[in-house]
Structure 1
């Protein structure tokens, strides 16, 4: 009569399965970028949805590998190197980021602090937002998404914030696609581009007059990838805006809740248009309990003329997203 497996064997077997499942999840990232969008688009879309969760695969995979290695400590566990390389390789294979600024140059450099925040359509209390914008840590220019009439009134009624950000381009909407740009520095050529198709969303363009030089801005929140058509429209919007900024010459910044992660196709298209991520893929959604996030959906992309001083998440604004804040210095 065969003997029953021990408790340790029970968990070891399931941990090994979890290791390989995480490796399979990791492979969805490069696979989603390799699959052609014009052939079986629904398959590419499904694979990409799985590719967004690389933080989960890396965390769960590392825990499972550690458990297996501990339980099999008396036997060879060399095979763990294969899934470990797959998970780690898929996780770190991301679009290029801005080069870090050299520390000796930062003190004398002119630094632009940029922030982006999705306010959440259902938010009614904007006290945390006002406190952040009135604080000493507030960015020089702020990109806001899911910007509503209620948010507009909350900021307009605050005299301190109105004085701090005298230059604005705001288009509040009752849907999740209202946008605003708040700036301490003058804005020129400010305009709102209304959606051209059912798959398109509002975009804001402006030129920031900063330190005697223009900085071309692009604010957007593309459609979330609810289906393959929305996902393709999102990726095309990112490429279009990246191309516009790169072709305008000089310095450029685009930011927002881009509804994509560094492992999917969209940000790779922006990289080909010479836009670089400002900082690593820091998780910003969901903002569970004000600190736990899984997916890096909120991004600041900048032209190659910038260097990165630092990047970090901002305070809890009562939204389901955490703000993303970066400090940039012109080369």
Structure 2
């Protein structure tokens, strides 16, 4: 697109691409800024900055596209050092400002040493659970599955399916007509079952259990906090995460906290628990589920205690929900 032949077109593209690049760079900076704001001293500002920080994938994609357009509109290559700095900011904001993830592990040789963990937000409006039951009855189904937005209709579909019932004989279910019903389905025995009802209007249901696996008791916690509709809901979500992490720290041993946590790796909340719980699902987006493959925000997480190693993580099949399920294969460090 030589400027001497199409000067007006080049100027039009350059001006708008420059603004887009600047806006994306500023958006990417919201991730580190959210980390340096005083804790709980300016809650409204923290909340607003965090809302901006969630969209790092969008800033990255649009920012890179804007920089490419700038280069194409200026064939001489004189984009300037400032634009290169913007590209670095977009990448840095997206990937550098994340809590630590678990280390990768080698595939074990012995049987039963791998635990597959799944998480799926079923969507309150779902009435067709055929894709869900087909997945859970398949040989590729996880060993333990955490379900959110779990309704009585979903419970009925799972109970009535012989393949699912046979694969997951151990369950902790709390269906609810609201978006905050939960369930844990396990191939391995569950004990110490707890259903914690909300303590106030900003709190949500929690499930706790201990799973007997590979000769160890694995502490489980299922959580689906409210979306951060305001600063109070964001703080309630963060308190719930910290409380579950503190419980795991006191109990010791392997632990898993799983669910649609309504937060992303660039927000303050996952940094607050990284001393006890590490991410296993990376920055793979899971919401919204557009066309069964396109998503923007990584809201669905499998957090694991430091004794685990990650073998692989991926998105699961399209279940007809607005979320894509997440599946992680773990092993305990030798």
Which bin holds the TM-score, normalised by the shorter protein?
Answer: over 0.9
Which runs of structure 2 are paired with 1:46-85 in the superposition (5 Å)?
Answer: 46-77=48-79, 78-85=81-88
Aligned match for 2:196, one of 193, 198, 222: 193
Aligned match for 2:312, one of 310, 313, 325: 310
Matching of residue 248 in structure 1 with residue 251 in structure 2: yes
| Structure-1 residue corresponding to 2:99 | 95
Aligned match for 1:229, one of 229, 232, 249: 232
| Structure-1 residue corresponding to 2:20 | 18
Q: How far did 1:40 drift?
A: 3.2
Q: How far did 1:246 drift?
A: 2.3
Distance in 2, matches of 1:319 and 1:218, equals 22
Say how many residue pairs are matched: 325
Distance in 2, matches of 1:244 and 1:326, equals 23
SS in 1 for 2:274: helix
TM-score, scaled to structure 1 = 0.96
* Residues 281 and 326, structure 2, Cα contact 8 Å, conserved in 1: no
Provide, for residues 72-115 of structure 1, a one-character-per-residue CA deviation record: whole Å limited to 9, x for no partner: 2315222222111211111112110010003xx53336000000
Unaligned runs of 5+ in 2: 1-5
* Residues 98 and 279, structure 1, Cα contact 8 Å, conserved in 2: no
Which runs of structure 2 are paired with 1:21-36 in the superposition (5 Å)?
Answer: 21-36=23-38
Distance in 2, matches of 1:279 and 1:150, equals 29
| Structure-1 residue corresponding to 2:262 | 259
Provide, for residues 89-148 of structure 1, a one-character-per-residue CA deviation record: whole Å limited to 9, x for no partner: 11112110010003xx53336000000000000100100000000111100000000000
* Residues 246 and 275, structure 1, Cα contact 8 Å, conserved in 2: no
Distance in 1, matches of 2:292 and 2:268, equals 29
Matching of residue 174 in structure 1 with residue 177 in structure 2: yes
* Residues 145 and 177, structure 1, Cα contact 8 Å, conserved in 2: yes
SS in 2 for 1:6: helix
Distance in 1, matches of 2:207 and 2:194, equals 6
Q: How far did 1:66 drift?
A: 1.2
Q: CA RMSD in A?
A: 1.3
TM-score, scaled to structure 2 = 0.95
* Residues 246 and 252, structure 1, Cα contact 8 Å, conserved in 2: no
SS in 1 for 2:47: helix
Provide, for residues 17-71 of structure 1, a one-character-per-residue CA deviation record: whole Å limited to 9, x for no partner: 1111100000111112222353332221111111100000000011111111222
Q: How far did 1:289 drift?
A: 1.4
| Structure-2 residue corresponding to 1:135 | 138
SS in 2 for 1:66: helix
Distance in 2, matches of 1:41 and 1:212, equals 44
SS in 1 for 2:208: strand
Distance in 2, matches of 1:74 and 1:302, equals 50
Distance in 2, matches of 1:193 and 1:157, equals 26
Q: How far did 1:5 drift?
A: 5.4
